[in-house]
Amino acid sequence: MNTVTMRKNSIDFRGQNRFEPEWLYNIRKESWNYYNDLELPHRSNHLWRYTNAQDLLPNNLEELIKIIPSLPDQSENDSSYGDEDFSGYGYNRSDFMTFARLSHDFEKSGVVFKDLLTASRENEDIVKKHLGQLVGYGFGKFEAMNLALWNTGLFLYVPDNIEIKKPIRLQRHPSGPNTIHRLLVVVGNNSKLTLIDDYSGECRKEEAQSNSAVEIFTGDASNVKYFNTQRLSNSCISYITQRAQISRDAKFVSVFAGIGSKISKFNTGTILNGEGAESKLYGIVFGNENQHFDYHTMHHHTASNSYSDIDFKVVLKDEAKSAATGLIRVEEDALNCQAYQVNRNLLLNEGPKAESIPELEILCDQVQCSHGATVGPIDQDMLFYLMSRGVDYKEAMNIITLGYLEPTIEKFPVELGELTRELLATKMKG
Amino acid sequence: MSKNKILSINNVHVEIEGKEIVKGVSLQINSGEKHAIMGKNGSGKSSLANALAGHPNYEITSGTVELDGENLLDKSATERSLAGLFLGFQYPLTIPGVTVANFLRAAIKARNGDGIDIKNFRKVFKEKMKLLKIEDSFATRYLNDGFSGGEKKRLEILQMAMLRPKLAILDETDSGLDIDALKIVANGIMESAPKDGGVILVTHYQRMLDYIKPDMVHIMIDGRIVKTGGAELALELEAGGYDKLETEVSQEVGV
């Protein structure tokens, strides 16, 4: 039990972090204290009913503390480049190789894209103002661990009135034993951004943990699209907490795909914080073999006339398990909001288990809200329709299943969509 | 010219969930013939159609069916299609996420394997869409997703035209069509129905038979074919209604 022994230890983060600013050191220390004071979540705790928290704990916390990077000396920042497909390219790896490159189109635009450690010194004001505000240590045990021990991070800042037409692509390779990564995104007013956050790779060590925290702030009337694909190998354990805060008249679209990992716990949420804010969340999960997916979605309306919609589809085969908890919360003074959510689960055989738990906390009486959940097998009449055209049973199952997910996959940028289709087709066959 | 037997149905009984719906139907269709099966809702005509196509909920409990000399009943729905049977659905299913073009490509691929000639596929596809006055944009729309009743039925005929079956069973393809759509669909059937195969038009009304003249008309009541005749039988039926016929039939059999 590493956590117990660690708890008594006084950790000298300073020793390892000569180059971190004082305030960041303090945040780490506070978070670490908080982490140690918190009990490991129990099955009776909210959102922990389906996953054993013990399974998500790193097995070498001491090592993690030692390796908080002192300096991003393996990183390359700001070296601009030309790429036809992406406006920027970021890379995060468990051996703390981090780099961030931005297309030279944005050289003088004021856009900042660099590793988080460097940003904490060079862009101190913005980072200090936002870091940990959406996914802070108060969030929970694993979020506190992240804020205390993050060892690889990226920072993206888009000033007001900037349109980043092509996506910025982040590649996360938590391929070592443990990776604790953080992403902080701050988008200004009237700006546009498409961000791909792609988790992939083989985990070199058995049961490598990846703990990721993502914070996205959007300015007024901004337009942000965020794509999160988790396609880690099936020996990985993935924990992602992502929050976005949407300002006045801003539009946010978030699309996620949960494909990989042995255990995947994913918590995605959007706070509609300004009048007229809009958030659309589309998600898919495809589980096979013994994969375990524990997914939470949240739309929190704190401002009037805000709109949210969630469409979350799950496909399970073999012995895979999924739990989908979807919270809609509308505050008392958030008037005339619309909030919708649907979670559908398709079970391809008798083995998998799917749970669907909608949670509504509607404190305001002027609201339009709906939620729906279904769990079931493939429609027999659909199967017959395809078979009556000469398609065999297996191929008919393929076509219907991939078709079921297609309206969501279609929303991905072309290349990412293709990649996702290939991965799903492979899983269908396996 | 000697005619081949395309379809031989001999004393077929069909059950749904243990309840007998079709109670002994025999029918023979020769190459080049078009037959109409008429009857009220619940007479068993759609059940017969679905059972012939191999729908798992429709169990053929006794009788034999041969398609072009081959036993049909030991085949799956897939194999029946590959053997040359086509069912035009009364209520075509919506399959989200699967485009019309991909759906058809899968069906053609099931026949021709991976050696599908894409160029030729596109050419024939375009021709048939034009014949059925289906806009090109339909190719990339999800199958029957948001289609009107008429569009769905035209799409069924498009599928028939592409798959070139030996025997097409068109289950109430005329229902839900306005007069213009009916003409287009009827024309599509005439143009692309298998010339040396057979067609069964399952219908409630006579109106489609104005455009497609059947060689034979069979009237089904309560799971049985009670009367068979030429095209004029449909007109008789239209004039007198099913009730008159039912009375006649019950008198004939002395019920």
- Considering only CB atoms, A388 lies closest to which of B77, B95, B96, namely B77
| CA–CA distance, A309 with A299 (Å, rounded to integer) | 8
Window A:153-182, CB contacts with B under 8 Å: none
Tokens of A125: 């004001």
Give alpha helix (H) positions in chain B.
45-53, 77-82, 100-112, 118-131, 149-163, 179-192, 232-252
Q: What are the boundaries of each domain within chain A? A: 2-274, 379-430
Inter-chain residue contact A390 with B89, CB threshold 8 Å? no
Residues from chain A that touch B163, judged by Cβ atoms under 8 A, are 389-390
Q: What is the pLDDT of residues A259-291, one digit of tens each?
A: 999 999 999 999 999 999 999 999 999 999 999
- Considering only CB atoms, B163 lies closest to which of A389, A392, A403, namely A389
Whether residue A366 contacts residue A335, with contact meaning beta carbons closer than 8 Å, is answered with yes
Q: Supply the DSSP string of B186-233, one letter for each residue.
A: HHHHHHHS-SSSEEEEEESSSGGGGTS--SEEEEEETTEEEEEE-THH
Residues from chain A that touch B159, judged by Cβ atoms under 8 A, are 389
Inter-chain residue contact B142 with A403, CB threshold 8 Å? yes
pLDDT at A207: 60
pLDDT at B113: 79
Let me know if B145 is exposed, middle or buried by CB neighbors in 10 A (0-12, 13-18, 19+): middle
pLDDT at A74: 45
Report the candidate in B66, B9, B13 with the shortest Cα–Cα distance to residue B223. B13
| CA–CA distance, A93 with A345 (Å, rounded to integer) | 33
Whether residue A115 contacts residue A98, with contact meaning beta carbons closer than 8 Å, is answered with yes
Inter-chain residue contact A390 with B53, CB threshold 8 Å? no
Q: Report DSSP state, residue B107.
A: H
- Tell me what percent of the residues of chain A surpass a pLDDT of 70: 88
Task: Please indicate whether residue A155 or residue A79 has the higher confidence score (pLDDT).
Answer: A155
Top residue of A384, A395, A405, A420 to mutate, by most chain B CBs within 10 Å, is A384
Least trusted range by pLDDT, from A48-62, A393-407, B198-212: A48-62
pLDDT at B118: 80
Q: Is B145 on the interface with A (CB under 8 A)?
A: no
Residue stretches of chain B with pLDDT short of 50: 1, 255
Inter-chain residue contact A386 with B76, CB threshold 8 Å? no
Inter-chain residue contact B98 with A387, CB threshold 8 Å? no
Question: Which range is most confident: A105-119, A204-218, B18-32?
Answer: B18-32
Residues from chain B that touch A384, judged by Cβ atoms under 8 A, are 53-56, 77
| CA–CA distance, A161 with A193 (Å, rounded to integer) | 11
How many Cα atoms sit within 13 Å of A289 on the Cβ side? 13
Q: What is the pLDDT of residues A297-355, one digit of tens each?
A: 999 999 999 999 999 999 999 999 999 999 999 999 999 999 999 999 999 999 999 99
Judged against a pLDDT cut of 60, whether residue A97 lies above it is answered with yes
Report the candidate in A364, A307, A362, A316 with the shortest Cα–Cα distance to residue A343. A316
β-pair partners for A300: A271, A329
Residues from chain B that touch A400, judged by Cβ atoms under 8 A, are 95, 98
Chain A nearest CA to B146, separation (Å): 14
Residue A178: pLDDT band (50, 70, 90) is confident
Q: Report DSSP state, residue A166.
A: S
Whether residue A314 contacts residue A345, with contact meaning beta carbons closer than 8 Å, is answered with yes
| CA–CA distance, A198 with A91 (Å, rounded to integer) | 10
pLDDT at B246: 81
Judged against a pLDDT cut of 50, whether residue A78 lies above it is answered with no
Judged against a pLDDT cut of 60, whether residue A1 lies above it is answered with no
| CA–CA distance, A155 with A146 (Å, rounded to integer) | 15
Q: What is the pLDDT of residues A3-13, one digit of tens each?
A: 323 333 445 55
pLDDT at A9: 42
Inter-chain residue contact B77 with A399, CB threshold 8 Å? no
Residue A58: pLDDT band (50, 70, 90) is confident
CB atoms within 10 A of CB B111: 15
pLDDT at B4: 86
Window A:380-409, CB contacts with B under 8 Å: 380-382, 384-393, 395-396, 399-400, 402-407
| Backbone φ and ψ of B184, nearest 5° | -60, -45
Least trusted range by pLDDT, from A91-95, A125-129, A169-173: A91-95
Inter-chain residue contact A381 with B93, CB threshold 8 Å? yes
- Considering only CB atoms, A388 lies closest to which of B53, B95, B111, namely B53
pLDDT at B60: 97
Whether residue A276 contacts residue A311, with contact meaning beta carbons closer than 8 Å, is answered with no
Top residue of B52, B58, B79, B95 to mutate, by most chain A CBs within 10 Å, is B95
Task: Please indicate whether residue A217 or residue B150 has the higher confidence score (pLDDT).
Answer: A217
Least trusted range by pLDDT, from A90-104, A365-379, B52-66, B234-248: A90-104
- Tell me what percent of the residues of chain A surpass a pLDDT of 90: 73
| CA–CA distance, A242 with A428 (Å, rounded to integer) | 28
Least trusted range by pLDDT, from A160-164, A402-406, B118-122: B118-122
pLDDT at B151: 93
Q: Assign a CATH topology to domain B5-92+165-252.
A: Rossmann fold (3.40.50)
Inter-chain residue contact A403 with B95, CB threshold 8 Å? yes
Q: Is B89 on the interface with A (CB under 8 A)?
A: yes
- ipTM of the modeled complex: 0.95
Whether residue B5 contacts residue B28, with contact meaning beta carbons closer than 8 Å, is answered with yes
* H helix count then E strand count, chain A: 10, 20
| Backbone φ and ψ of A67, nearest 5° | -105, 15
Mean pLDDT of A47-51: 94
Inter-chain residue contact A392 with B78, CB threshold 8 Å? yes
pLDDT at A261: 94
Q: What are the boundaries of each domain within chain B? A: 5-92+165-252
Chain A nearest CA to B238, separation (Å): 32
| CA–CA distance, A73 with A338 (Å, rounded to integer) | 48
β-pair partners for A194: A225
- Considering only CB atoms, A404 lies closest to which of B96, B103, B159, namely B96
How many Cα atoms sit within 13 Å of B174 on the Cβ side? 22
- Considering only CB atoms, A402 lies closest to which of B92, B97, B103, namely B97
| CA–CA distance, A218 with A235 (Å, rounded to integer) | 35
Report the candidate in A253, A276, A268, A281 with the shortest Cα–Cα distance to residue A334. A276
Please give the order of strands across the beta sheet that includes B5-16: B19-30, B5-16, B58-67, B70-71
CA distances from A392 to A396, A398, B75 (A): 6, 10, 12
Whether residue A192 contacts residue A221, with contact meaning beta carbons closer than 8 Å, is answered with no
- Residues 6+ positions from B188 with CB-CB distance below 8 Å: B131, B132, B154, B157, B158, B161
Inter-chain residue contact A393 with B76, CB threshold 8 Å? yes
